[in-house]
Amino acid sequence: MKNILEASFMAEMIRTATLMYNHGWDERNGGNISLMLDEKDTAEYLDPEKVIRTIPTGFKAPELEGKVFLVTGTGKYFKNVQIAPEVNLGIVRLRDQGQQADLLWGFADGGKFTSEFPAHMMSHVARLKTDPENRVVMHCHPANLLAMTYVHSLDEREFTRTLWQMCTECVVVFPDGVNVLPWMLCGTNEIGEATAEKMLTARLVVWSQHGIYGAGKDLDETFGLIETAEKAAEIYMKIAHLPRLNTITDEQMHLLEKRFGIQAREGYLD
């Protein structure tokens, strides 16, 4: 078997976690990432029959039976992923209708996947229904998006429109908009279920006073989605207290739809 630390998916996961920490999105052990892997991704690096141990998941997801995920660990600091990936990351395969996870690699200190693992898996199920190519779920705590949930209406249409108006690229990057949840207790199946429901209609879900969930086809796309929304929120927080003399109009956003061949979420533009 080849060294799994040399696998392209592993290198990208390590790089992404490090970038997220450097961006200030994942203080301490905040945030988590899960990447769905194909069998061909791991064939050269892992023996699928060699199970290190089995970890109960605390939920049921028959849609993910046999699926394999590279995921960050509970209580782990993103700043340490690049130093000790075999401790801070793990590869698990779901079985028994998702109720058990066979550890195939990682969590070398006896740890396990993130406490938000159920929320991640429920979001994976939802996104696969919407787009079978979605393979990543990413959760982090970008400061400006958090700040925005304290001072802006949590109405999803209003929240989305404000972000779209901050940067010309926003409606192009996330035309499906941003969904928003009120504050809920984290690490529970309840918030996982609520997030999954929101994931059916948008790839970005804001957790008020907490953070954001993003989903996408790969780590680059998902990171870019969150990065773009956070940049828009930063601009909003810089100007929210000032009179707005100019903005990106709905008419201009319709021009962007035509130019880039995208469709803004129905009912979100006048």
Domains belonging to the chain, first-starting first, are 1-114 (3.40.225.10), 116-270 (3.40.225.10)
Tell me if residue 158 is catalytic. no
Confidence band, pLDDT 50/70/90 cuts, at residue 269: very high
Cβ burial of 2 (10 Å; 0-12, 13-18, 19+) is: exposed
Place of tokens 């953070």: 211
Percent of the chain with pLDDT over 70: 100
**pTM: predicted TM-score of the whole model, two decimal places:** 0.95
Kindly report, residue by residue over 185-243, the tens digit of the pLDDT: 998 899 999 999 999 999 999 999 999 999 999 999 999 999 999 999 999 999 999 99
- Taking residues 100-122, what's their average pLDDT? 95
- Taking residues 82-110, what's their average pLDDT? 96
Q: Which residue has the higher pLDDT, 164 or 38?
A: 164
Considering 116, 156, 221, 230, which one is annotated as catalytic? 116
189-199 helix and 117-130 helix, angle to the nearest 10 degrees = 20
Confidence band, pLDDT 50/70/90 cuts, at residue 50: very high
Confidence band, pLDDT 50/70/90 cuts, at residue 253: very high
Percent of the chain with pLDDT over 90: 95
Pairing of strands 204-207, 178-181: parallel
Confidence band, pLDDT 50/70/90 cuts, at residue 157: very high
Q: How far apart are CA 268 and CA 160, in angstroms?
A: 8
- Taking residues 168-181, what's their average pLDDT? 98
Extended beta strands in 132-253, E state: 136-140, 178-181, 204-207, 211-216
- Taking residues 148-169, what's their average pLDDT? 98
Q: Is pLDDT above 90 for 40?
A: no
Q: How far apart are CA 166 and CA 187, in angstroms?
A: 32
Q: Is pLDDT above 90 for 182?
A: yes
